Amino acid sequence: MLEILSQHMRQLEAFRADVALGLSQTRKRLPSRWLYDNRGCEIFEEITRLEEYYPTRTETAILRENAREIADFCGERAVLLEYGAGAGIKTEILIDALDSPKLYVPIDIAGEFLDETVVRMRRRFPDLQTLPVVADFTAEFEIPRGVPGGRRSAFFPGSTMGNLDAHETKGFLRQVRRHVGSRGAAIIGVDLKKDLSTLLPAYDDREGVTAAFNLNLLARINRELGGDFSHECFAHEARWSEAESAVEMHLVSLCEQVVTVDGQRFAFQTGETIHTESSRKYDVRGFMDVVEDGRWSVSAIWSDPDRRFAIFGLDATW
């Protein structure tokens, strides 16, 4: 109980520091991890069911189609570490296909939402030991020692890797290699480059669910840090950055205004934005270069017929 409380306090302090720093910059920005409080996770699940949001549908189909092969890649008695587990819906497909899996370690920054996922997974897979970890995977953390099993595989679906910048990606690949060890593997879902007429609606749907997801960050700042953001004074925007090969989410100030957070005042011009998320899109060669640079070798690539999305099977090299 005390550990949970101190973890909660540490997370709150990290959030406070990121908001103070991010809103003080000339180009205001906040790390995308803070989009995921409990409400943010719930809205994200709604996004995954939208017609415009092709990534979840496509990745799920690839997983179903190739479940046997991906499970063989993990090997028998697998230990599965899942980064950014969320609701773990796709994970059920993989665990179902695994041969006598020994341990499942779902890792997520959103502790309350992770608790619900763990309850569901334990009910669904009673013979599989599940050891959740609440952590920010862009920072260093340790994996708890669990029952001995076969090879360790890191599972990172949802194209969440695309939310990391080049520096974070490098650090993430290094940390995962350390977590899985010398015989370890990684299975990473990657959204591929495609036309903007498909990409942009996926981050700006007609029903406004993605807008609600983005604006929820302001509600979180108000609730947790005593901010006075007015929901009506900001609008959601999705835009393409050619330089970053990413769809960016912004919150646009609709007027000149001053917002107070934690006693600190932040001025906004009309049209000024807070950059809240980047979702990088890769081509296959580009992603291979990134992981090979991080001392992983590409052993398999599973994709859909339209090459919208790819799941990479990686082996750690030493």
Binding residues for ligand SAM (CB under 6 A)? 33, 36, 41, 44, 48, 56, 84-86, 90, 108-110, 136-138, 157-158, 160
Q: At what angle do helices 111-124 and 89-97 cross, to 10 degrees?
A: 30
Please, which residue, 156 or 266, has the CB nearer to ligand SAM?
156
CA 150 to chain CA mean position, Å: 26
Please choose, from the candidates 278, 259, 290, 296, the residue with its C-alpha nearest in 3D space to the C-alpha of residue 180. Answer: 296
Shortest CB 152 distance to ligand SAM, Å: 18
- 40 to each of 33, 34, 43, 126, 304, how far by Cα in Å? 10, 9, 5, 28, 29
The Cα–Cα gap between 142 and 151 comes to 17
Shortest CB 136 distance to ligand SAM, Å: 4
- 244 to each of 148, 166, 204, 279, 282, how far by Cα in Å? 41, 10, 19, 9, 10
Shortest CB 59 distance to ligand SAM, Å: 7
Please, which residue, 49 or 183, has the CB nearer to ligand SAM?
49
Shortest CB 162 distance to ligand SAM, Å: 9
Shortest CB 232 distance to ligand SAM, Å: 27
Please, which residue, 160 or 303, has the CB nearer to ligand SAM?
160
Q: Would you state the structure tokens that stand for residue 295, as one six-digit string?
A: 């001392």
Helix intervals (H) in 143-208:
166-180, 196-202
Q: Would you state the structure tokens that stand for residue 267, as one six-digit string?
A: 């001025």
CB 215 within 8 A of CB 238: no
Please, which residue, 41 or 291, has the CB nearer to ligand SAM?
41
Please, which residue, 41 or 217, has the CB nearer to ligand SAM?
41
Please, which residue, 136 or 237, has the CB nearer to ligand SAM?
136
Shortest CB 183 distance to ligand SAM, Å: 24
The Cα–Cα gap between 75 and 71 comes to 6
CB 105 within 8 A of CB 82: yes
CB 212 within 8 A of CB 206: no
Please, which residue, 92 or 272, has the CB nearer to ligand SAM?
92
Shortest CB 77 distance to ligand SAM, Å: 23
